[in-house]
Amino acid sequence: MRVPVLAYHAVNIAGNDYASNDPLAFAADLRLIHELGLRIVPLQWVVEQVVGSGNRDLEGCVALTCDDGSNFDFNDLDHPIHGPQRSLYNCLLDFEAEFGVDAQPDLHLTCFVIASPEAREHIDRGCLAGRGWMSEAWWKDAQRSGLIGIENHSWDHNHPAVKLPGLEGMQRGSFLEVDSLPRARAEIAAATDYINERIAPSRTQIFCYPFSHVPEYLRAEYFPRFADEHGMLAAMGDGAVPVTLDSDRWNLPRYICGWHWKTPEALRDILAG
């Protein structure tokens, strides 16, 4: 198995072309992946393969993810500077309308969301336009659609835009601060509980490290030893290589749009291996 996992940030909208607009890049990439004869599959399948609970043929597959869980993931929105924007979810529906639902029968996007409503409000005001674009109102509908999985991007991202004291005395702005059991519980297990309540009967089982910061305590200690309380099967980082059966389940690699590739040609190279 050798599955590239791609990552997008739907709020990355600085213009209306491939290089400046993640939703536009996402829509184009769906077509490129399809044109290359690759199969889009749920990240959950890739994780199950790595941890040994799944045994599917994942030859020629790609998995899609997006981070931070803004409303741009699910709802079309009017950007104050760059105008109307298609949501990632509607990009999936557009693809199905154009090519038919059988073209990519396992089409799926995994959305990593931030649990804390208070943190999301601060991030909405501090980093977005302050229009309520970090809501959780869409989570359940997204999960029910079958095209989207809602997963865990921590309690508050330990984000610097959150103008509240850091959890358990943490300095804000780095996820490497999560280096002890109380801090891990506050950032991960609490997020699991909150998200699970909102998407029941589904459950979150995949974590994504905020800022791609992988604290050694989480990777080597908390995730492997406290599965009962955090409920995670795997955690996603940014290693920029495909996931294989030898990958570290607590730091599975992804390629980030706008960082590891900026053009369709560069993505084509990644997918061609």
> Looking at beta carbons only, is 183 or 254 nearer to Zn ion?
254
> Looking at beta carbons only, is 7 or 61 nearer to Zn ion?
7
> Looking at beta carbons only, is 39 or 153 nearer to Zn ion?
153
Residues 6+ apart with CB under 8 A from 138: 71, 73, 74, 75
Question: Quick check: 151 binds Zn ion (CB under 5 A)?
Answer: no
Question: Quick check: 238 binds Zn ion (CB under 5 A)?
Answer: no
Tokens 């990632």 -> residue: 88
Minimum distance, C-beta of residue 237 to Zn ion, in the bound complex (Å): 12
Encoded amino acid at 219, one letter = R
> Looking at beta carbons only, is 21 or 154 nearer to Zn ion?
154
The region of 34-42, 64-72, 86-94, 128-136 touching Zn ion under the rule CB under 5 A is 64-72
> Looking at beta carbons only, is 11 or 189 nearer to Zn ion?
11
φ, ψ dihedrals at 219, nearest 5° = -65, -45
Minimum distance, C-beta of residue 2 to Zn ion, in the bound complex (Å): 26
Residues 6+ apart with CB under 8 A from 44: 110, 149, 205, 206
Minimum distance, C-beta of residue 209 to Zn ion, in the bound complex (Å): 8
* Contact indicator for 173, 160 with CB cutoff of 8 Å: yes
Quick one: which of 22, 29, 48, 67 contacts Zn ion (CB under 5 A)? 67
User: What x-and-dash track marks residues 198-227 binding Zn ion by CB under 5 A?
Assistant: ------------x-----------------
What angle, 0 to 180 degrees and rounded to 10, lies between the N-to-C axes of helices 22-35 and 264-272? 40
Question: Quick check: 68 binds Zn ion (CB under 5 A)?
Answer: yes
Q: Which residue intervals of 79-116 are DSSP H helices?
A: 88-99
Q: Token digits for 61?
A: 């597959």
- The residue number with the shortest CB distance to Zn ion is 67
> Looking at beta carbons only, is 29 or 68 nearer to Zn ion?
68
Residue 3 forms beta bridges with which residues?
243
d(CA 120, CA 135): 7
Q: Where on the chain is the footprint of Zn ion (CB under 5 A)?
A: 67-68, 210
